[in-house]
Amino acid sequence: MDFENNFLSGGIPSSKSDLSQLTSLHLSKNNLSRELPPSMMNCTRLITLDLGENKFSGSIPKWIGENLTSLMFLILRSNMFMGNIPPQLSLLSKLQVLDLSQNNLSGKIPESFGNFSAMAIANKTKEYIFTSWRFFRLESIWVLWKGSLYEYSSTISLVININLSGNDLHGEIPKGITHLFGLQSLNLSKNHLTGIIPEDISDIRWLESLDLSWNRLSGMIPHTLSYITSLNHLNLSYNNFSGRIPSGRQLDTINNSSIYTGNPLLCGPPLLKQCPGDETDCGSQLVLGGEGVEDELVIQLLLISMAPGFVVGFWVVCGILLFKRSWRLAYYHFFDDMGNQLHVTLARKVANFKKNEG
């Protein structure tokens, strides 16, 4: 059922008709309002529920998690939903796309968010894609991806995405979120989240896009971020992070200072602000941490200790030759003699050899 992009207004009718076979409901980009009617509880076979860009209000009902257990795509973006996010949402064991962005949701991100089991699967099997293909051929949804909205259709079954941006969420990022190994995009931007980025964030191996900008997160930026080899979009701007910006591996490929701005306590490249003790290059290498850095340090120390050795050795020999005439003469004579001797010896050997052959 697709009524996307129209001028529908009013609420969703709480009809007594049987919609229990409905698999796909698109009502996005209308002018719909009011709360979601309990009659929708009966749509237990819904795979897609897209109500984005309307004026729905009230809280997100618990029964979405408890009853609509087939849901794979839940899009409530840009509405006026308020109150807490119900922890029951994590009962949706098939959910892959959760977009609750730009509402008026408050409270904490439920700890249970680590329990979305379909998001904890890294690589879907071909079989899975094939069996669901008939459905997804006809399905399409709009997903915010690296800052722009894209329409996904037949490949939608491969997208795994959480977007809670633009709400009024408080508290910490739940640690459980790092169990969602298959997550490709996480957007928690424009909330009031506090605390740190969990160190285990690198467990989300397939993460491509992480937007935590405009929160109140603090602490050091974990260097484990550099281990996420698929990460190519990161934004940590306008928080309260402190200390040196980690570098190395994947982070060196996202070398853009705008992703760190608005964190007055951050220092080091790509920001222009130097960290304390950065004047000597050697010091900056020491604090960095991570593998490979130690090797680099050893090489640097080796070079540093070689340089004076070379200078001293060079001047001991050349300085003396330059300033002491008699030594200089002796030195050149020595090599001259050695050259002559070598030449004579060689000539003799060759002559002997020829004689023997003859």
Ligand X SMILES: *[C@@H]1O[C@H](CO)[C@@H](O)[C@H](O)[C@H]1NC(C)=O
How many residues belong to the chain?
358
What value does the CA radius of gyration of the chain take, rounded to a whole number of Å? Answer: 34
Which residue number, 27 or 188, has a Cβ lying nearer to ligand X? 188
State in angstroms the smallest separation of the CB of 229 from ligand X. 18
Which residue number, 135 or 172, has a Cβ lying nearer to ligand X? 172
- Residue 284 interacts with ligand X (CB under 6 A)? no
SS3 195: coil
**CB of 92 within 8 A of CB of 117?**
no
CA-to-CA separations, 264 to 210, 226, 269, in angstroms, rounded: 21, 22, 14
> Which CB contacts under 8 angstroms, 24+ apart, belong to 213-217?
213/189, 213/237, 213/238, 213/239, 213/259, 213/262, 214/189, 214/190, 214/238, 214/239, 215/188, 215/189, 215/190, 215/191, 215/239, 216/192, 216/240, 217/173, 217/193, 217/241
> Which of 26, 29, 179, 190 touches ligand X (CB under 6 A)?
190
* Interface size with ligand X, residues (CB under 6 A): 34
DSSP letter string over 92-141? Answer: -TT--EEE--SSEEEEEPPGGGGG-GGGG--S--HHHHHHHHHHHTT--E
Examine residue 198 and say whether the peptide bond preceding it is cis (omega within 30 degrees of 0): no
How many helices (H) and strands (E) are present in the chain, helices listed first? 5, 19
State in angstroms the smallest separation of the CB of 178 from ligand X. 13
**CB of 176 within 8 A of CB of 159?**
no
- Residue 42 interacts with ligand X (CB under 6 A)? yes
> Which of 48, 178, 189, 202 touches ligand X (CB under 6 A)?
189
State in angstroms the smallest separation of the CB of 153 from ligand X. 20
DSSP letter string over 27-72? Answer: --SSEEEEPPPGGGGG-TT-SEEE--SSEEEEPPPTHHHHH-TT-S
Report the C-alpha gap between 169 and 355 in whole angstroms. 99
Report 97-116 residues binding ligand X (CB under 6 A): 101-102, 104, 111-112, 115
Which residue number, 79 or 202, has a Cβ lying nearer to ligand X? 79
- Residue 149 interacts with ligand X (CB under 6 A)? no
> Which of 55, 62, 137, 216 touches ligand X (CB under 6 A)?
216
Distance of CA 307 to the CA centre of its chain: 41
> Which of 54, 157, 165, 263 touches ligand X (CB under 6 A)?
165
> Which of 187, 191, 215, 263 touches ligand X (CB under 6 A)?
187
**CB of 61 within 8 A of CB of 37?**
no
- Residue 322 interacts with ligand X (CB under 6 A)? no
- Residue 257 interacts with ligand X (CB under 6 A)? no
State in angstroms the smallest separation of the CB of 210 from ligand X. 8
State in angstroms the smallest separation of the CB of 118 from ligand X. 13
- Residue 79 interacts with ligand X (CB under 6 A)? no
Name the one range near ligand X by CB under 6 A: 36-44, 64-72, 318-326, 341-349. Answer: 36-44
Q: Name 73's bridge partners.
A: 48, 97
- Residue 38 interacts with ligand X (CB under 6 A)? yes
Name the one range near ligand X by CB under 6 A: 46-54, 139-147, 266-274, 291-299. Answer: 139-147
- Residue 235 interacts with ligand X (CB under 6 A)? yes
Name the one range near ligand X by CB under 6 A: 92-100, 210-218, 282-290, 342-350. Answer: 210-218
Q: Which residue has the tokens 């051929």?
A: 137
State in angstroms the smallest separation of the CB of 96 from ligand X. 17
Binding site for ligand X (CB under 6 A): 18, 38-39, 41-42, 80, 82, 101-102, 104, 111-112, 115, 144, 146-147, 165-166, 187, 189-190, 209, 211, 213, 216, 218, 233, 235, 237, 240, 242, 256, 258-259
